[in-house]
Copies of this chain bind each other. A is one copy, B any other.
């Protein structure tokens, strides 16, 4: 039923030569005389020859293929990363296997196993939480691997990585809020992505302390979520935020943009004006941040660049070029969810101050 593909053997038969000659001619070997070479190449075109990459892979022991594991391809953050990866890979003649782990370690290991079975030349994993047996297995199969924004501490020399500097990002966020005059700044984190959460919390804490502000544990709340989905993050932000509010913060730095949107919602429900009464800083700079009201001030992660960089490191690794890990700098993006702190004695800024009194009335529905 399925049409038989034409092989170099078929071309050889028609041209009256051996398959070796055809193979060499098609690869442009100078061993073959120019006229024969030209004739065979033309013939290949006419006969509609398409090289069989599977056979080539078996022979050369290289598949020109990389595996990309993501925690969720429906996550726009990872969509951007994947775009960068695919772009660089394709340019270098590589194809990309994509697989979605649902942020589950077991599934991720199964995916790695499949990739290994398919003899991918290298593996890229995003936001991966690498367990110890996982690491052992990776070490055993010896497939070059690069982690993107990895969620594990890495001391092994066989695992490479490219990440955005979480601590620096947190510092940018907190410094921005400090500069606006805020002194009671909360942090709203998550437990489902332990490492980056830890890093951002660390950056938050250090920056505060460097300014001489004592660390208040009640200013920090960690939402214990499951598999890190979109809707979950919003709900988590919405649910956990009141705790920080009770602690009296005037600004919140959120683990990511979706959490921040959750906080934004909680504020809308309670009639808290953003940014007049509360400043909010998100993290990631997903597209949505430009379109919510108010638009979110956030920390930009270079997502596509992250993917590109990781792919480059992996390709270098495959060519046995020297490589090094990369820590990319995040950037502060100013939008509309942050504003200067209104002084307690508000004699000069009465236009803003008037919001404070009617905090509890502007609530109606639900």
Write out, one digit per residue, whether chain A residues 305-326 have a CB within 8 A of any chain B CB (1) or not (0): 0000000000000001000000
Q: What residues of B have a CB within 8 angstroms of the CB of A96 in the complex?
A: 97-99
Residue of B nearest to A144 (CB): B2
Q: What residues of B have a CB within 8 angstroms of the CB of A80 in the complex?
A: 74
- Interface of chain A residues 49 through 100 with chain B (CB within 8 A): 50-55, 57-58, 63, 68, 72-76, 78-80, 82-83, 86-87, 90, 95-100
Taking a contact as CB atoms closer than 8 A, the residue among B58, B68, B113, B320 that contacts A55 in the complex is: B58
**Chain A interface, number of residues (Cβ within 8 angstroms):** 53
Tell me the A residues contacting B by CB distance below 8 Å. 1-3, 48, 50-55, 57-58, 63, 68, 72-76, 78-80, 82-83, 86-87, 90, 95-100, 113-114, 116-119, 140-142, 230-231, 234, 261, 287-288, 291-293, 304, 320
The answer to whether A86 and B63 have CB atoms under 8 Å apart is: no
Residue of B nearest to A142 (CB): B3
A63-B54 contact in complex given A98-B98, A142-B3, C-beta closer than 8 Å? yes
| Sample of 8 more A-B contacts, CB < 8 Å, known A74-B82, A87-B100 | A50-B113, A54-B119, A73-B79, A74-B79, A97-B98, A98-B98, A288-B288, A292-B292
CA distance A141 to B53 in the complex (A): 15
The answer to whether B119 and A100 have CB atoms under 8 Å apart is: no
Q: What residues of B have a CB within 8 angstroms of the CB of A78 in the complex?
A: 79
The answer to whether A261 and B83 have CB atoms under 8 Å apart is: no
CA distance A331 to B294 in the complex (A): 29
CA distance A78 to B73 in the complex (A): 9
CA distance A98 to B231 in the complex (A): 26
The answer to whether B95 and A53 have CB atoms under 8 Å apart is: no
The answer to whether A74 and B72 have CB atoms under 8 Å apart is: no
| Copies held by the complex | 2
- Can you report 27 A-B residue pairs in the complex whose CB atoms are below 8 A from each other? A1-B320, A50-B116, A51-B117, A52-B119, A53-B119, A54-B54, A54-B57, A54-B63, A54-B119, A58-B58, A73-B79, A73-B86, A74-B82, A74-B83, A74-B304, A75-B79, A76-B76, A82-B98, A83-B100, A90-B114, A95-B99, A95-B118, A97-B97, A97-B98, A98-B98, A292-B292, A292-B293
Residue of B nearest to A261 (CB): B291
Q: What residues of B have a CB within 8 angstroms of the CB of A86 in the complex?
A: 73, 98-100
Residue of B nearest to A67 (CB): B95
CA distance A49 to B54 in the complex (A): 20
Which of A116, A291, A293, A320 neighbours the largest number of chain B CB atoms within 10 Å of its CB? A291
CA distance A117 to B6 in the complex (A): 12
CA distance A231 to B95 in the complex (A): 28
Q: What residues of B have a CB within 8 angstroms of the CB of A95 in the complex?
A: 97, 99, 114, 118
Q: What residues of B have a CB within 8 angstroms of the CB of A114 in the complex?
A: 90, 95
Which of A113, A117, A141, A292 neighbours the largest number of chain B CB atoms within 10 Å of its CB? A117
CA distance A98 to B79 in the complex (A): 12
CA distance A287 to B53 in the complex (A): 39
CA distance A72 to B3 in the complex (A): 32
CA distance A55 to B117 in the complex (A): 10
Q: What residues of B have a CB within 8 angstroms of the CB of A48 in the complex?
A: 140
- Min CB distance A2 to B, Å, is 6
Residue of B nearest to A48 (CB): B140
